[in-house]
Amino acid sequence: MSPQQFRDISWNGLWKQNPGLAQLLGLCPILAISTSMVNAVSLGLATIVVMAVANLAVSALRNFIPYEIRIPVFILIIAALVTVVDLTFNAFFHDLYLVLGIFIPLIVTNCIVLARVEAYAAKNDPLTSTIDGIMMGLGLVWVLGLLGAMRELIGAGTLFAGIEMIIPGASAITVFGDDYAGFLVAILPPGAFFALGMLIAAFNAINVRLAARARRQLPPAMAARGAGEQGGTEPAAAS
């Protein structure tokens, strides 16, 4: 793998094709489990493990899997990996396992995992597929972590609530003091939609600025041609 290919895969996963902000995949766990930063990041890390190993396994076996039954086989591979992760959480992080509940087994049906297996791992070599899974997972983790931190901070005035479930003896950070009454909407389902909407708006605004900066750095003729192409292209409808 060349350094440029590694940078492209990393940029796609962390930003350009970010699962949570650009592709809008796996919104159910993103919205439901992001009530605190610890819960959100924990689920994201579990998803990274599943995505990386699933991409590796599918890429290594892609020439032996009949095309007609590829989706059931992919799901069986993902389900086996999720079972391992689920049992590991139950054994070593039981309190966190009880908090995350059904969302660990639901990684099996998470469209982020299946989408990368089908769209990338089934068509590329094991090394690049594994890195793609890791980077897509990291892209999901930072979105989950930021969303969870926003909701926890505004809703309860704390950060890292529940960290004692992972690190015994640790405690949450009280940011706004013990007298902070909290903002309940932030940790309720409507707050998840509002917070994610703000993140997507910021993501799109940053992309617009990056595109404008890139055009300014191009020669005048290429910049004008790029602007003309953007002006004549209608945005694709969201699926």
Predicted confidence (pLDDT) per residue in 37-84, tens digit: 999 999 999 999 999 999 999 999 999 999 999 999 999 999 999 999
Which structure tokens are listed for 116? 């990368």
Per residue in 137-172, pLDDT (tens digit) is 999 999 999 999 999 999 999 999 999 999 999 999
| Sign of the alpha-carbon dihedral angle for 224, 230, 233, 234 | negative
Name the pLDDT band for 235 (thresholds 50, 70, 90): very low
User: From the CB of residue 221, how many other CB atoms can be counted at a distance below 10 Å?
Assistant: 8
Angstrom distance (rounded) from CA 48 to CA 87: 16
Contact 146, 199 (CB under 8 A): yes
Query: Which amino acid is present at 85?
Result: V
pLDDT at residue 61, as a whole number: 95
User: From the CB of residue 11, how many other CB atoms can be counted at a distance below 10 Å?
Assistant: 13
Indicate the pTM of the whole model: 0.87
pLDDT (mean) for 192-211: 95
The rounded mean pLDDT for the chain is 90
Angstrom distance (rounded) from CA 131 to CA 126: 9
Which structure tokens are listed for 147? 């969303």
Residue 106 has pLDDT above 70, yes or no: yes
Higher pLDDT, 50 or 218: 50
pLDDT at residue 237, as a whole number: 41
Q: What is the DSSP string of the chain?
A: --HHHHHHHHHIIIIIT-TTTTS---HHHHHHSTTSHHHHHHHHHHHHHHHHHHHHHHHHHTTTS-GGGHHHHHHHHHHHHHHHHHHHHHHH-HHHHHHHGGGTGGGGG-HHHHHHHHHTGGGS-HHHHHHHHHHHHHHHHHHHHHHHHHHHHHHHSEESTTGGGTSTT---EESS-TT----GGGGSHHHHHHHHHHHHHHHHHHHHHHHHHHHHHS-HHHHHHHHHHHHT-PPPPP-
pLDDT at residue 229, as a whole number: 54
Contact 100, 39 (CB under 8 A): yes
What's the N-to-C CA distance of the chain in angstroms? 33
Contact 133, 121 (CB under 8 A): yes
